[in-house]
Amino acid sequence: MDQSDAGSKIEDQDSCKIPIKNPPHRKISRINEPDSVSAKSFEGPRRKRFVTRDGKCALRKANRFKKPVVYYFTDIVSALLECRWRYLLFWYTALNMISWYLFGVLWWLIAYAHDDLFTSPLLDYRREPCVTEVRDMLSAFMFSVETQYTTGYGSRTPTTQCPEAVFLLCAQNIVGMLLQSSSLGVIFAKLARPKARTQAIKFSEKAVISMRDGLLCLMFRIADVRKSHLIACQVKGWLMKNHVSAEGDLLEHHRYRLSLDVDGGGDDPFMIWPVTVVHRIDESSPLYAVSAQELYASDFEIVVLLSSTIESTGQQAEVRCSYLPSDILWGHKFLSIFRRTARGAQVDYSQFDKTTEVDTALCSSRSLHDFRKMTSLRSHSIDESRAPNRTPKRFLSVSRQISQVSRDDRAEDAPLLLATVSNHSLYETPPTWEI
């Protein structure tokens, strides 16, 4: 090991030492650096989010289709459900206006062919018209609107003088019913979507890293502020960053699965009250080798997904959120939001995003594990050095007996001898060996 590696190892060991109490003259900063270095000094290039804070996908898709119009018309229902309300209302109004006008033109043509218009030279007021009171284009348009929506003002009515008028009346009723039912179905489906319900689900603005049960853990909060509850909830998480394969290929935005846990009960939280989701940074975590100083220079994005079922409607809902390295506070923990009142337990959502500083190791979880292992070995060696003097004699006696086995060319008895030695305590009186 060269001097640079030894120096870095000493620094890691120093950063892994967790103080019991902060010195009064030096408080732990946002990343708990010993010299109170702010997180801005370690911020690298800011990564653009793939998932926004409100759960929308920020990825733009270019050159998807050669003919986008054909694509949208092949799945027009999904296109109408995904479009904005102003576009949906515009299409609803435009379709009705076009249908009214087209059928109005057809009613005007029937009146023109039967010489019922005011401009017709063969107009005879004594002859019964095809449609009463339809004498121009405006009256034909009004009759089209009344027929399609079955208004029935009573002044314009079709007669039996024109069979084509009876056929057109049936056709317009069918088309109008199909148009109204499909439009109302799309509007109702858009209103009933669980998107509005998911807006009541909150993610904490920041995620924190601190010690929990002896391990460094990444934690964030989720809450449902509505009175009706979510059922069958499940939390999933991924860390996305670039990865270089063993063949040297760059895999952009490679996804690493994060194991999430809520109060030791797995990834299915009970969303009656706000919960804290925990990711233990162990050997299987992609953050295992990331320290406090390296965190803010890293380039990754953590995407969190909560899938659930709405209790009142039974619909599936999905909420997303993301955290960048700048959204993670090292050496912080969330404040308690539960209050005891005379009327019972109360959740104070004003404390939902608030954190406080705590004593936390500055090194990575891997360095912390190595430091604890080295400390344990060092303590064990000190205990052995303080043991009675008969222990070295025992090992010397065993060593002489093994050497005697080797000199007598009876190596086949050596494994038996070693197995016998391992079955006795280190500090017991050694047995009598027969070689």
The 10s digit of each residue's pLDDT in 75-101 is 788 888 888 889 999 988 999 999 999
Position with higher pLDDT, 23 vs 298: 298
Instruction: Tell me the average pLDDT across 347-370.
Output: 90
What does the pLDDT read at residue 76?
Answer: 81
User: What is the topology classification, in CATH, of domain 68-191?
Assistant: Helix Hairpins (1.10.287)
Higher per-residue confidence, 220 vs 28: 220
Alpha carbons 224 and 271: distance in angstroms, whole number: 7
Q: For residue range 266-324, list pLDDT tens digits in order.
A: 777 888 888 999 999 999 999 999 999 899 888 899 999 998 888 777 788 889 999 99
Q: Where are the domains of the chain?
A: 11-53+205-366, 68-191, 389-435
Positive or negative, the CA dihedral 69, 72, 75, 76 is: negative
> What does the pLDDT read at residue 344?
79
Beta carbons of 302 and 237 less than 8 angstroms apart? yes
Considering the four listed CATH numbers 3.30.70.260, 2.60.40.10, 2.60.40.1400, 2.60.120.260, the one that applies to the domain covering 11-53+205-366 is 2.60.40.1400
Q: Looking at per-residue confidence, does 379 or 402 come out higher?
A: 379
Task: Give me the percent of the chain exceeding a pLDDT of 90.
Answer: 28
What average pLDDT does the structure give for the chain? 76
Confidence of residue 12 (pLDDT cuts 50, 70, 90): low
Domains 11-53+205-366 and 68-191 alike in fold? no
Which of 57-61, 135-139, 269-273, 342-346 holds the top average pLDDT? Answer: 135-139
Whether the CB-CB separation of 88 and 190 falls below 8 Å is answered with yes
Q: Which two tokens stand for residue 329?
A: 């506070």
Residue 409 pLDDT > 50: no
Both tokens assigned to 190: 């858009």
The answer to whether 132 and 139 have CB atoms below 8 angstroms apart is: no
Return the number of other C-beta atoms located less than 10 Å from residue 107's C-beta. Answer: 26
Per-residue pLDDT tens for 179-212?
A: 989 988 998 888 888 777 778 889 999 999 999 9
Residue 309: predicted pLDDT: 85
Residue 405 clears pLDDT 60, i.e. is over it: no
Residue predicted with more confidence, 364 or 416: 364
H or E segment to which residue 346 belongs: strand 344-347
- Please state, as a whole number, how many other Cβ atoms lie within 10 Å of the Cβ of residue 373: 10
Tell me: the pLDDT tens digits for 370-388? 888 888 777 766 665 665 5
**pLDDT at position 103:** 94
pLDDT value for 5:
52
Tell me the per-residue pLDDT of 126-161, one tens digit each, with 9 for 90 and over. 888 888 888 889 999 999 999 888 777 777 888 888
Half-sphere exposure of 422 (CA within 13 A, CB side): 6
